[in-house]
Amino acid sequence: MKISILTPDLSHNCLGRAYLLADILQRHYEVEIIGPIFGDGIWEPLANSDILYKSVPGKILPLFALQIPRLLKKITGDVIYVSKPCFLSYDIGLVKKWVSKKPLVLDIDDWEVGFSLYGREKRKSLNRLRKARSHLGALKGFCLHPEKSYWSLALNERLAKFADQVTVSNTFLKERFGGTIVWHARDTARFDPDKFNKKAIREKYGIAESAKVAMFSGTPRPHKGIEDLVTALRQIPDALLVIVGVSESKYCRELVSRAKKGLGSKRVRAFGLQPFSTIPQFLAMSDIIVIPQRKNYATVGQVPAKVFDAMAMAKPIIATNVSDLSEIVSGSGWIVEPEEPNELARAIGYVLDHPEEAKERGRKARMRCEDKYSYDAMEEVVLKVFKPYE
């Protein structure tokens, strides 16, 4: 059986979820990932993966209509698996489903409407001038990409009922849409701490063996609370902040600049987007992984995939009490309240001062990941979803 996975954009980080699903499914089925490219090519961290990508050029919506027939022809699977309830993936998938009579499974890994509501909330806190600029930017965005608007996303939520089955990435989404939870699993054979030499990797990247490294790994965004981590580390003068996944965006540039200003340039190391294959070695050189999610519309329906990276690599984790994080790291990490830098600082300080306890929690984290959040664990779940279509 062949499965066609549709993603709304092959050139940005939304590809990560589609790739994860494909990587698990290709253990048993033939798999392809299909979608438009709006950037310079396939998203850099996954550009060299062994998954078959099929693409069409990304265009603004009126022009993109010309690409839809080409996109539909590229969907050759016996089953359609759509990543995200968005126009550029789900609506295309529904058309193919109705024309070809093929079954369609919808995967929802983020609350897309929540991201739109989060943008609205952010605009409310701006002064008049900045609010006016933000509204103009939102209007421009709507004109160029109406498929990303609140109304388009809300409509596609309602269309979710037309999928034959639904998979989701967390309990918030399950309560909202039903379906089967498929966590952001990790291949624990690839993410194996025994394969990486912490001392050698630190030497490779110019980080002292004695440094106390607090790491954030992922795609930096305002709702991910990295600013709170910077504030917390001001209280821990001997800690080094390492950020992995920094892009060339304005936000990332400003974030790194503020971090260096607040902590001192010698206490901040920033690394760009990394291929998935190199993420384990970056995690290996850390002493602690911090996931400082803020609590808002953007995060209540999201579980950061990087928590599973850290667990697989047996790293001690401090995460905020947002979404399912407290349950995921239960007994194998530390949970603090979101947007509380002082509480976060105390937790980081404690973990760095108790390395043996941190090591033991990291060991438990890997065991928990192998049992609940590994490819092997999720493979059984996913196969049950697709078994009826064989």
Q: What is the 3-state secondary structure (H, E, C) of the chain?
A: CEEEEECCCCCCCCHHHHHHHHHHHCCCCEEEEEEEECCCCCCHHHCCCCCEEEEEECCCHHHHHHHHHHHHHHCCCCEEEEECCCHHHHHHHHHHHHHHCCCEEEEECCCHHHHHHHHHHHHHCCCHHHHHHHHHHHHHHHHHCHHHCHHHHHHHHHHHHHCCEEEECCHHHHHHHCCEECCCCECCCCCCHHHCCHHHHHHHCCCCCCCEEEEEECCCCHHHCHHHHHHHHCCCCCEEEEEEEECCCHHHHHHHHHHHHHHCHHHEEEEECCCHHHHHHHHHCCCEEEECCCCCCCCCCCCCCHHHHHHHCCCCEEEECCCCHHHHCCCCCEEECCCCHHHHHHHHHHHHHCHHHHHHHHHHHHHHHHHHHEHHHHHHHHHHHHHHHC
Query: Is pLDDT of 136 > 80?
Result: no
Confidence tier at 150 by pLDDT (50, 70, 90): confident
For residues 100 and 229, membership in a common domain is answered with no
Q: What is the mean pLDDT of residues 169-178?
A: 97
Q: How confident is the model over 271-291, as a mean pLDDT? A: 96
Q: Domain check: are 225 and 361 in the same one?
A: yes
Asked whether residue 312 is assigned to any structural domain, the reply reads yes
Instruction: Based on the fold, state whether residues 243 and 360 are members of the same structural domain.
Output: yes
Could you tell me the residue range of the domain that residue 81 belongs to? 2-117+150-185+376-389
**Least trusted range by pLDDT, from 91-105, 120-134, 342-356:** 120-134
Model pLDDT, residue 79:
98
- In this structure, are 108 and 242 located in the same domain? no
Residue 300 sits in a domain of what CATH number?
3.40.50.2000
Considering the domain architecture, whether residues 277 and 181 belong to the same structural domain is answered as no
Share of the chain above pLDDT 90, in %: 85
164 and 293 housed in the same domain: no
Instruction: Say yes or no: 276 and 369 in one domain.
Output: yes
Residues 298 and 250 in one domain: yes
**Using 50, 70 and 90 to split pLDDT, how confident is the model at 133?**
low
Write the pLDDT tens digit of every residue in 197-211: 999 999 999 999 999
Within-domain flag for 361: yes
| Same domain membership, residue 236 and residue 274 | yes
pLDDT the model gives residue 273: 92
- The mean-pLDDT minimum among 20-34, 83-97, 149-163, 187-201 falls in 149-163
In a domain, 303, yes or no: yes
pLDDT at position 142 is 46
Q: Average model confidence (pLDDT) for the chain?
A: 92
172 and 204 fall within a common domain = no
- pLDDT tier at 126 (50, 70, 90 boundaries)? low
